[in-house]
Amino acid sequence: MTPAFHDRDGGLFAEDVDLTALAEAVGTPFFCYSSAAMTDRYKALAAVLDPLGVDILFAVKANSNQAVIATLAAAGAGADVVSEGEIRQALAAGVPARRIVFAGVAKTAAEMAFALEAGIGQFNVESFAELTMLDAVAREMGRVAPVGLRVNPDVDAGTHEKITTGRKENKFGVDIAAAPAFFAAAADMAGVDARSMSLHIGSQITQLEPFERAYRGLREMTLALRAAGVTIDHLDLGGGLGIVYADETAPDLNQYARIVRDTVGDLGCRLSVEPGRFLVGNAGILVCQVILVKPGETRDFIFTDGAMNDLIRPTLYEAYHAIRPLRPRGPAQARPADIVGPVCESGDYLGKGRYLPTLEVGDLVAVMGAGAYGAVMASTYNSRPLAPEVLVAGARHHVIRPRLSYAELLARDSVPLWLTDQTVDHGA
By annotation, the residues acting in catalysis are 344
Tell me whether residue 46 or residue 332 sits nearer to ligand LLP (CB atom).
46
Torsion sign (Cα): 178, 180, 184, 189: positive
Residue 314 sits in the site that holds ligand LLP (CB under 6 A): no
Which one of 146, 166, 210, 238 is in contact with ligand LLP (CB under 6 A)?
238
Cα–Cα distance for residue pair 427/179, rounded to 1 Å: 59
First to last CA, the chain: 71
The minimum distance between CB 282 and ligand LLP, in angstroms, equals: 12
Contact segment (CB under 6 A) with ligand LLP among 4-12, 107-115, 268-276, 351-359 equals 268-276
Q: Which stretch binds ligand LLP (CB under 6 A): 5-13, 41-49, 58-66, 250-258?
A: 58-66
Whole-angstrom distance, CA of residue 64 vs CA of residue 46: 21
Q: How far is the CB of 327 from ligand LLP (least distance, A)?
A: 28
351 sits near ligand LLP (criterion: CB under 6 A): no
Identify whether the C-beta of residue 314 lies closer than 8 Å to the C-beta of residue 350: yes
Exposed/middle/buried for 334, CB within 10 Å: 0-12, 13-18, 19+?
exposed
Q: What minimum distance in Å lies between the beta carbon of 277 and ligand LLP?
A: 4
Is residue 199 within 8 Å of 234, Cβ to Cβ? no
Site string for ligand LLP, 73-92 (x = CB under 6 A): -------x------------
Residues binding ligand LLP: number (CB under 6 A): 23
Contact between 274 and ligand LLP per CB under 6 A: yes
Cβ proximity of 387 and 405 under 8 Å = no
Contact positions with ligand LLP (CB under 6 A) in 280-309: none
Radius of gyration of the chain (CA): 24
Instruction: Indicate the residue among 238 and 265 with the shorter CB distance to ligand LLP.
Output: 238
For position 239 contacting ligand LLP by CB under 6 A, the verdict is: yes
- Residue of 32, 103, 326, 386 interacting with ligand LLP (CB under 6 A): 103
Instruction: Please say whether the beta carbons of 365 and 325 come within 8 A.
Output: yes
Residue 317 binds ligand LLP, judged by CB under 6 A:
yes
Q: Which is nearer to ligand LLP, 243 or 364 (by Cβ)? A: 243
Contacts of residue 368, defined as CB under 8 A and 6 or more positions apart, other chains included, come to: 5, 245, 282, 285, 321, 322, 323, 324
**Helices and strands, number each (H, E), in the chain:** 13, 21
Position 107 contacts ligand LLP (CB under 6 A)? no
Q: How far is the CB of 176 from ligand LLP (least distance, A)?
A: 15
60 within 8 A of 79, measured Cβ to Cβ: yes
Other CB atoms within 10 A of residue 237 CB: 26
CB of 241 to ligand LLP, least distance (A): 6
- The window from 65-73, 85-93, 238-246, 264-272 that contacts ligand LLP (CB under 6 A) reads 238-246
Q: Is 265 in the site for ligand LLP (CB under 6 A)?
A: no
Please report which residue ranges of 331-428 form alpha helices under DSSP H: 406-411, 417-420
Nearest approach, Cβ of residue 275 and ligand LLP (Å)? 4
Which of 115, 58, 51, 31 has its CA nearest to residue 278? 58
Tell the burial category of 9 from Cβ atoms under 10 Å away from its Cβ (0-12, 13-18, 19+): exposed
With respect to ligand LLP, which residue has the nearer C-beta, 17 or 311?
311
**Interaction of residue 203 with ligand LLP, rule CB under 6 A:** yes
CB nearer to ligand LLP: give 198 or 289: 198
Q: Is 354 in the site for ligand LLP (CB under 6 A)?
A: no
Three-state secondary-structure class, residue 111: helix
Can you tell me which of 64, 204, 222, 263 binds ligand LLP, judged by CB under 6 A? 204
Interface residues with ligand LLP (CB under 6 A) are: 59, 61-62, 80, 103, 163, 165, 200, 203-204, 238-241, 274-278, 313, 317, 372-373
